[in-house]
Every structure is written in C-alpha cells, then in structure tokens.
Amino acid sequence: MAPPKKKQPVSIWDAIWHDKIAKLQKAFWTEITRDNLPRRIFKCVLATFITVIIMLIPNITSVYGKAGYLACITSVFGHPGRRLGGMVEALTMATVGTAIGVAWASLGTYLSSLVHDTNLAAAMGIKAVFVIIAAFIHGYVRLSTPRLFLMVLLMIIPVLIGLTSPAVKVSYTFPTQFFYPILTSVGVMLLVNVSIFPEFGSTQLCMATIETLQEVQKMQKAAAELFIAFSVGKDPEQCVAGLRDLTDMKAKLRAKVAATKAVYTECSFELAYSVLAPRELKHISRKGIKNITGKTFSLVGACESAYALMGIELRAPPGGKYDINWYKSQREESADEELLKALLIRVEAPLRQLQAATSRALDIVSACVAYSYDTPSLPAVGKASSRARKPTGIPLPEVDVHIEWLEAAIEEFGRTSTAALEIAAVLQEPHHNDVDVDLMPREEVFLISSFVMNLRQSATHALEMLRQSRTLVEAREDRKGRKSIHFPRIKIRKWLFSGTEEPDTVRVTERETFAREPGNESREHLVDSRRRTKRPRYRRSRAAGSEIARKWRKLRWMLGKVLDWVAGSDAFLYAFKFTFGVMLVTWPAFVHGWVQWFYLNRGVWAPLIFVLVFENAVGSTIWIFFLRTAGTIVGSAWGYAAYQSRNGNEFTIAAMLLVGTIPNYYVQLGTKYQKAGMVCTISMCVVALSTHLQTVPGTSEENFYKRVVTMLIGGAVATLVQLVLFPVKARVHLKDYLASAIVQINKMESCIASGVDDTRNIVASPALFKRFAIAQKKATACLSTAEAFLVFTKQEPRLKGNFAPQAVVYKEIIFVLRQIVDRMENMVQLRQAYGSAVLEEYNSRVYNYRRAVAAAITLTLTVVHEALTTKLPLPQFLPSARLAHLRMVLRVRQILLEENTNEDVSHSNIDSRTSDTAEAARHALRLKFLSWNASSAALEECIEYLEELVDLAKTLVGANEFRSGILNRPRYKADLEKMRSTRNLTRDPLDPNAASLDNADTVTASGFSLSGVSQQALEGMPDSLTRIQSRRMEARLERRRTITQLDAIH
C-alpha cells in the first residue's frame, strides 16, 4: 500500500490570492444575479438577435426597404427586459410616435412635391418648415411631459430621415420602410416578454411591498434598541455606529418607498391576470407604507435627538471629595441626565413589547399579501438568509387573533408607559432624595414623549394595515382563488405626469405635485374685490375710447401675457434651443445643391445624435455626450468588425452582434451608464446592417468613419448650443429648487402655526391638513430634484473654480431641509391623530407666545430664501426662534403649575409631597399632553436644524457681521475645517491643570465619554447632526463656566 501523500504547505501569498479570488467571485455572482438581471439580459439579447436575423434575410429590402436598422433601434428603446406593463406602454408609445412621424413626413414631402418642378427653393423651404415644427413639438413635449419621450423620439426619427432625403414624391415604399421594421420589432419584443420569463406588475408590486415592510421592521427594531442604548449607557462605539447605519438606512428606505410607488403606478396602467386587482393593494402599498414610513423616520429622528443630547461627563471635584454645595451646583447640569435615565428605565419594557408586537404584525401583513397575490416566495430578510415559501393558506380566525393581540398591545402600552412615567415621578432613589424628578414640559420629557407617541402611532398604522390584509385574504377566499382579467383604470392627467423619459434624468420627482395647487381663498377674494372695484372705471374708459383703441389695448394685453408665458416657460426655451440646434446640423439638407451630398455622407445621423445628446442642462448634456461618444466608438468598431470578419456573411454578422449585445445590455440594465450601453448596441447594429443592406452606397469602413464623425458633430453642436444659447446651469437650478423648497416649508409652517392671531381653536381643520399635505409633497419633490441637480453640478464646467466645496454645503442644506420637513410632518400627524391639549385648552393664553415662535421661524426661512436667490449676505441679527420656543414652554409650565396649585387649594389640605407629585404627573401625562410634548420635541428639532441652515447659508453668502473691522465673507475651506473640528473636545473642564474650558471630555446623557468613540466611527455621521450636538455641548459648557465664575466670586 502506497504511503499517503503529504499535503504541500500553502504559502501566505497563495492564501491571500485565493481569498481575493473567492471574494471577487462572490461579488461578481451577487452583481449579475440581482434584480433578475440574467433573465432580463437574456430576453433583451434574444429580442435584438431575432430582429437582426429578420433584417438579414436575403431580399428583405424588397419588402422592408433599406432602413432595417430601425428595428434594432426600436428593440433597444422598447427592450423587453422589464415588466409587461412598462413594455406594453413603451411599445404603444413607439407605434403611435412612428405613425405620427411618418404621416407628418409624408405630408411634408407631398406638399413640397407640388411646387418642386416650378420652385425648388420653395419645395426645400416647405420641408424645412415641417422639420422645424416637428422639432419644436418634440422639444416642448419632451421637457414638459417626459412620459411621452419615447413617442416624440420615434416621431422625430422618421421626420428627419424622410424630409432630409432626396425623395421628391411620396411613394408606397416611403411609409412602409418605417412601419415594417418598427412594427416587426414591436411584435418580436411582445412575444419574447410574454413567452420567456414573463414579469407581471402585480407580482412585482407584492414583492416591492414586502421588501419595504421588511426594511421598516429592521429600522424600527434598530431605532428602539439604539434609543434605549443611548440613554442607559451602552458601548459608545456601537451606539454611534448604529446611528450612522440608521441614517444611511433612511435613504435606502426612501428609495424603496419610491420604487413601490413607481411599481404601483405602473400596475395601474397594466392589464392584470390575477385573483385580486393590483389597485386593491393601495391601502397597504401606498397609504399604509407612507404612514408607517413617516413614523419610522420620526423614530430615527428621536435617536438623532438622543445623540444630540450628549452632555458633559460628571467628574469628581478636585481632590475626589464631594460636598453638598458642589453637588447642588452640578445638579442643574445633570438633572436632565438623571431624569432621562429614570424615564427610560421605566418605559424600556413597554417599548420593547410594543415594538415586538408591531414587528410580528408586519410579518403577518407580508404573509397575507404574498398569499393574496400568489407570490412564489417571500424576499430574503438578510444577506445570508434564503427566500421563504409563501403560505398555502391563512385562516381568517388566526388573522383576527393577531388583530386583537395588537389592539391589546397598543392599549397595554398606553397604560404601562403612562404608569411607568408616573412611578418614575413618584418614586425616588435612596441616594437622590434631594432631587425632584420633574415631568412637566421640558426637553427630556419632550424626547421621551416623541419616541413613545411615534412608536404608538406606528403600531396603529400597522394595525390598520393588518386589517386591510385581512380584507385581502377574505376577498381571495370569496373568489376561491380563481384568476380573472383586471382592466386598468387610467386617468390621463395622472398618467402623463407620473413618469420620466429615462430613470436617470434630472426631473425624476413627483411632477404631478406641481400640476395644480389650490389657491388661497382670502387672496382670491381680495383679487375679486379689487376687480369688482376697478370694473366701473374700466367701463367708463371703454365707453370714452374708440373701438380701435379698445382692440389695440386688448391685443397688447394678450401679447404681454404671451411674452410673460414665454419668458417663464422652461419648456418653450428648451424647445427653441432644440429646434435651433437641429436646424444647425440639418440645414445642408434643405439646399438643393447639397441635399445629395448630405444624404450620401449619412448627414442625417448628426441630427439624430443631437436629439439623443441634447439634455435640459449643460452638465447633463456634456456627460451624455461623453457616454454616447464612448458607446458610439466602441459599437461602431464592433459593427465594422462584424461585417469585415467574413466579408458581410449574414451568419457571422448575426453571431458577432449576438456576442456584442450581451455586455451592452448589462451596461444598459445593470449600471448607471445605461445610455452608453444603448448607443453602443445601436451603433453596432446601424453600422453592420446599413452596410449589409446598402442603405447608402459605401463600405463598412466608410460607415464606421461617418458614424463616428457625425457623433462628434452632433454632440459638439449640442454642447455648444447649451453653453451659448440660454445656458441652463445645474447650479442655478439647484438654488432655485432649494429656494422653492424653503417657500413650501414656509407654507407648512403657516399651517402648523394656524390660530396664532386669535383665541379660537382651529388646529384640527381638514382644509389645513390638506394644504399642509400639498406643501409637503411639493417640498419633497423640490428636494429630490435638487439632489439630482447636485449630481450634475460635478459634470459641468465652471470659470470661477471648483464647485466641490460649495457642493458639500448644498448637500448639507438638502439634508437639513429634509430633516425639517420630516419633523413638521411628524408634528401634524400627531396633532391630527391625538389633538393637542395645550392648543385646544390654553390657546387663548399662549397664542401670543406661539405667534412669536412662528414669526421667528418664518422670518428666518425668508431670510435664507432671499440669501439663496439674491446672493446677498445675511443680516447681522436674526430673531431667536429657540428663545421664543423656550418662553412658550415656560409659559405652559407656569399655567400647569398654577392650575395644579389651585386644585391643591380647593381640595383638602394634603401635605404629602408624593401625592402632589403623582397628581401633577397624572395631569401632565394625558394622551393629548403627550402629543403636545412630542410635537414640541419635533418643533425644537426644527429650530435646531433651522439654526444650522442659517450657518450653512452664511457659509455660502456671508453675513453682515464685522469682525476685526471687515465684513465677514464665506470661506469654504476654513468653515469646513471648523465643522470637522467641533468633534474634537478632549479636555476636562474641571481639571485645574487645563488651560481653558474650550475643550472637554464629552459623554452621553447617561455618562459615557465621547472620547471613547473612534474618529472612524464619527466619520460617517452627518456633519449637521454633529454640529447640532456640538452646539448643545457648547451651551452646557457656557453654563458650567458661568457657575464656576459665580462660585469663584462668592
């Protein structure tokens, strides 16, 4: 028997390389298998391959004409690698656009043929006029209604090809050379999408809804654990890292919610074959997810507030001895920390119980949705987990049990949390007998109330979704699982404003929110009254004047209205620039002596490239020009190689194009450089097929050169037109949309501050909530558009220098404005659900203080808005919203204490301090008072972020502050370094060897030191949040410095 072979020792370098290769393989497999990417690539490649084979059939030109490459272009733009509803919509657009374009080109050619024999210039002029009209319509519709982009694109292509050709008369082959290839491609794509790996919108909607609910569960659980960890003193490194992850998860959840909304909108226009119609999931996928997501963001905001409450560590006095005077001086600084710890310890158990019950309810909702819509499997919860199978049946009594259980959990949470806070107010720790635990309105009570009320409201939304899921299960049981066809219910207005031309375009927000806004009734009444008062004078002047003068005034008024509309219409200016650019590269086709040269040298490719490259901003146009140039060169080279490999052999051309389309469709479907993949596929098909079909006489090498040259000409002209003619810079649009967002936030604040001018109670008006919802949608849309423009600012040239330092500031401004919108939405939702005892019972006594807060916030927002739009420095002094809010809170405390004192006098003479404290706690912990506390916490956070917004605006435009005799102007690098340096607080303020109190060891409200957190953990934190936390620490340092100085004086 042979001895066993000894294992060869493995070197460390081999182990490292083996580990790297394994990681690369895993990353590669994860990348290519996400979002059903292999299936979609296969369908797209197969559809394009079939169209190429059809166009390579011998003698195909006798039936289809020589423009067979149009079939490949259609297969790229209307690719089947999407859901059935989206593809059917795209194919419908392509068919309608082609019909309109062919009809328009045929009409132009026919009218020009009528005068061709007698006046060549007039014939060419007629064609040019038809091209100008088509180009203007394309540009206007493309920007105003991006949903119709594919329709107007396939409308302009036949117009440019037909009207720039030397054709004199309309023949039978003129329309067929466009219709046959495009309709053939439409049929192929529809067949491939339906027969191979079909994707229906109802299934995708179900999967997107379940994935969003799972993300909500994960965020709520992490927020509850982090909130308790911040307050009871867990590992600081883990707490800061957890908050950083939560902040990152907000963007991910927001993207999932937007994706769910997009899938639902797409399903609304799709013919569905399922047991239940997709629209029956609206109460869960739209309303339910929106509500519970808002509450989840509020829970994360409470965690951010807990992070901002990190204070100064309590250290022993010099010498290590405590005396009563030192303890009393420190009590003012630490009472909030002790109160926060006492409150959190009491409510920790109820919080965990309700969070667990909510999570279980969302699991049941996911299972019910999967069962009702026949989802093949549930999405995986984690990276290492596998997909679970959908349930085969759900008994309705079991769902009823879960509904009753969640109802009982919410009710129990209301009792236990209130009782726990009352016990915290009554019971005192043995060593804290000298400390009064105060549950009257103050910062820590606001924070606890905010988390408690938002968690309770989140559970309420989960309960509503659970009831809706029971309705779905019941409907499925009534229909006995039989599938049927559900026709879409299409609202044309909503459909037009619910989509974009491409996923990565600038205007990617909810455009329907800008479609219509109800006006202000008081303003409309004022305008009407002014019109009524001016009407008699107008009649007298009309009677005195002549008829010609009246008509001239009316004409002048109408002309002014038209000019105002033109000046304020971005779509009109874009259409004008687009038409000018198209004619700039097309004019040789309308000169009789050059039309043949233009046709033989494939000059029509230049305007087609211009159409594809010309975007609505300078930066996006340059970026798309770069992507399409790279794609054109690579694709044209591959098409040239495909034709030259076997001297135009059809089988070789098809095989080469099949190989080339695989990476192209991966780039188009799986990366953010989709336009490079699209133009690469189009270029290789155009070069190879146009040479094989002899669309224009020439070799493949000539077609390759012509394709590249026309790409450079069209892209260069597009860039030049954008730079010279009414340039639209992303930086300008970024500021405009930020200013618009501030205007909408000001409207939201006016809705919140309703009732500050009188003593009436109008805080629960439905019209008020509706106006707030409209303003909130517009503010969110503006911020999303501003984020898109911020990306394009990096891609456009700038003479004044690099825009990167300012881009950092604008990114922070967007973050701050989003935080303000979320807090205001939280305030209104709590007020709408639970009311507000302070506003309902004491508005007549506090409305003056509320007016001061509202005035300060409104004025600050207005100042920042003017600074962004006019670039003028901020004024030196601004009203303090924080001080006004503090006065309002103190006034409410005073009212509550006065009422409590009156109640004590009216009752029997009870000397027990514990009974008085318990009675006050019961009064302050009613549900409406908890709602007001939570709203006040959100308002305080809004004020903090408002102060941060002012600081960021100062960084951009400066301020009228005189320092060392000169006006303070923005210094980007210095301000950024200052933003980062606020974290480095390392010295002990009570150390006698310390040089000053400017630096101090920082700890959380429960006592752990911030110096124990690594710089790496802090790097991922939002700078604005860190600066707010630093601002609070500086305020506490200032109070401690004052106490130390007073002690030294006495």
Backbone Cα Rg of the chain: 34
User: Which tens digit of pLDDT belongs to each residue from 430-477?
Assistant: 344 443 444 455 566 677 777 888 888 889 999 999 999 999 888 888
Residue 13 domain-assigned?
no
| pLDDT top residue among 29 and 176 | 176
The least confident of 151-165, 528-542, 560-574, 974-988 is 528-542
Let me know whether 956 and 826 are in one domain: yes
pLDDT tens profile 353-407: 888 889 899 988 988 888 888 777 666 554 434 455 667 778 888 888 888 988 8
pLDDT in tens, 68-99: 888 888 888 888 888 777 788 888 888 899 89
List Cα–Cα distances, 576 to 569, 796, 870, in angstroms. Answer: 11, 21, 27
Q: Is residue 412 part of a domain?
A: yes
Q: pLDDT by residue (tens digit) across 961-1005?
A: 655 555 566 565 565 565 555 544 434 444 444 433 333 344 433
Task: Evaluate whether residue 43 is within a structural domain.
Answer: yes
Tell me, yes or no, whether 857 and 822 share the same domain.
Answer: yes
The per-residue pLDDT for 768 is 84
φ, ψ at 377 (rounded to 5°): -155, 155
- Which of the four pLDDT bands, split at 50, 70 and 90, describes residue 580? very high
Distance CA 62, CA 782 (A): 53
- The secondary element (H helix, E strand) that includes residue 388 is strand 388-389
Mean pLDDT, the chain, whole residue set: 76
798 in the same domain as 742:
yes
> Are 98 and 218 members of one domain?
no
How is residue 596 written in tokens? 């043949």
Residue with tokens 């070789």: 652
Q: Which helix (H) or strand (E) holds 963?
A: strand 962-963
Tokens for 810?
A: 């604008």
Half-sphere exposure of 136 (CA within 13 A, CB side): 9
962-963 and 966-967: which strand pairing? antiparallel
The domain that holds 763 is classified in CATH as 1.20.58.220
Has residue 274 got a pLDDT over 60? yes
Lowest-pLDDT choice from 110-114, 413-417, 1041-1045: 1041-1045
Q: Is residue 414 part of a domain?
A: yes
Backbone angles phi and psi of 232, in degrees to 5: -105, 0
CB 1028 within 8 A of CB 948: yes
310 CB-near residues (< 8 Å, 6+ apart): 1002, 1003, 1004, 1005, 1010, 1029, 1032, 1033
Cβ proximity of 210 and 369 under 8 Å? yes
Total count of domains within the chain? 4
CA distance 103 to 799: 46
Q: Read off the amino acid at residue 569.
A: S
For the ranges 21-25, 248-252, 254-258, the lowest mean pLDDT is seen at 21-25
Q: Give whichever of 264-278, 499-513, 537-551 has the largest mean pLDDT.
A: 264-278
Q: What is the pLDDT of residue 394?
A: 81
- DSSP letters of 728-761? --HHHHHHHHHHHHHHHHHHHHHHHTTTSSSSS-
Tokens standing for 156?
């302009």
Q: For residue 860, give the nearest of 823, 820, 815, 831 by alpha carbon.
A: 820
pLDDT of residue 1045: 67
**Which residue's structure tokens are 């997501």?**
293
In a domain, 697, yes or no: no
pLDDT, mean of residues 320-339: 44
Q: Are residues 183 and 242 in the same domain?
A: no
Q: Which of 1044, 866, 1048 is nearest to 330 (CA)?
A: 1044
Cα-to-chain-centroid distance, residue 349: 35
Confidence of residue 127 (pLDDT cuts 50, 70, 90): very high
Q: Could you please report the per-residue DSSP string of 646-699?
A: TTS-HHHHHHHHHHHHHHHHHHHHHSS-HHHHHHHHHHHHHHHHHHHHTSSS--
Instruction: For residue 280, give the DSSP letter.
Output: G
CA 398 from centroid of its chain's CA atoms: 38
List the structure tokens of 952: 């960021």
Closest by CA to 193, choosing from 54, 338, 37, 79, is 79
What's the whole-number mean pLDDT along residues 793-818?
84
**Among candidate residues 499, 517, 532, the one where a domain is terminated:** 499
* Cβ–Cβ under 8 Å, residues 147 and 157: no
Residues 301 and 377 in one domain: yes
**Residue type present at position 728:** V
pLDDT confidence bin for 47, thresholds 50/70/90: very high
Q: Kindly give the interhelix angle for 730-752 and 618-644, rounded to the nearest 10 degrees.
A: 130
With respect to residue 529, please indicate whether it lies within any of the assigned structural domains: no
Confidence of residue 650 (pLDDT cuts 50, 70, 90): confident
Q: Is the pLDDT of residue 105 over 60?
A: yes
35 Rama class: left (phi>0) / alpha (psi -120 to 50) / beta? left
Whether 82 and 217 share a structural domain: no
Specify whether 176 is located in the same domain as 212.
no
Q: Is 56 exposed, middle or buried (0-12, 13-18, 19+ CB in 10 A)?
A: buried
Quick check: 1015 and 1024 in contact, CB under 8 A? no
1003 and 965 both lie in a single domain: no
Tens of pLDDT, residue by residue over 915-956, are 555 554 454 445 566 667 777 778 888 888 898 899 888 888
637 located within any domain? no
Give the domain-ending residue among 499, 514, 538: 499
pLDDT of 511 reads 39
Q: Which is more confident, 915 or 757?
A: 757
Q: Residue 978: phi, psi to the nearest 5?
A: -65, -40
d(CA 244, CA 1016): 11
Instruction: Choose one of 483, 499, 515: the last residue of a domain.
Output: 499
Q: Which of 167-181, 329-343, 661-675, 883-897 has the lowest mean pLDDT?
A: 329-343
Query: Are residues 106 and 215 located together in one domain of the fold?
Result: no
Report DSSP state, residue 380. P
The answer on 932 and 829 residing in a single domain is: yes
Asked if 85 and 266 count as a contact pair (C-beta separation under 8 A), the reply is yes
Across the range 763-787, mean pLDDT stands at 86
Strand pairing partners for 874? 959
Residue 562 lies in a domain: no
Write the DSSP string, 803-834.
Answer: -HHHHHHHHHHHHHHHHHHHHHHHHHHHHHHH
Place of tokens 């302009």: 156
Judged on CB neighbours under 10 Å (0-12, 13-18, 19+), 793 is buried
Cα angle 689-695-699, degrees, rounded to a multiple of 5: 70
| Cα–Cα–Cα angle for 250, 253, 258, rounded to 5 degrees | 125
What is residue 738's predicted lDDT score, i.e. its pLDDT? 93
Q: Which helix (H) or strand (E) holds 311?
A: strand 311-312
Question: pTM of the prediction?
Answer: 0.76
Contacts of 615 (CB under 8 A, 6+ apart): 505, 506, 621, 624, 722
The pLDDT > 90 percentage for the chain reads 12
Separation CA 592–CA 584 (nearest Å): 16
Taking a C-beta distance cutoff of 8 angstroms, is the pair 967, 958 a contact?
Answer: yes
pLDDT at 248: 81
User: CB neighbours of 27 closer than 8 A, spacing ≥ 6?
Assistant: none
Of residues 893 and 870, more confidently modeled: 870
Please state, in angstroms and as integers, the Cα–Cα distance from residue 353 to each residue in 17, 94, 362, 723, following that order: 48, 55, 14, 61
Nearest-angstrom CA–CA distance, 330 and 338: 12
Between 1008 and 680, the higher pLDDT residue: 680
Using CA atoms of 395, 399, 405, 408 in order, give the dihedral in degrees to the nearest 10: -130
Alpha-helical (H) ranges within 985-1022 are: 1015-1019
Q: How many CB atoms lie within 10 A of CB 249?
A: 17
Same domain flag for 216 and 176: no
Domain of 1020 in residue numbering reads as 991-1049
440-to-123, 349, 423, 891, 980 alpha-carbon distances in Å = 86, 23, 14, 11, 36
- 849: pLDDT strictly greater than 80: yes
Amino acid present at 375 = T
Between 790 and 17, residue with greater pLDDT: 790
- Separation of alpha carbons 787 and 804, rounded Å: 14
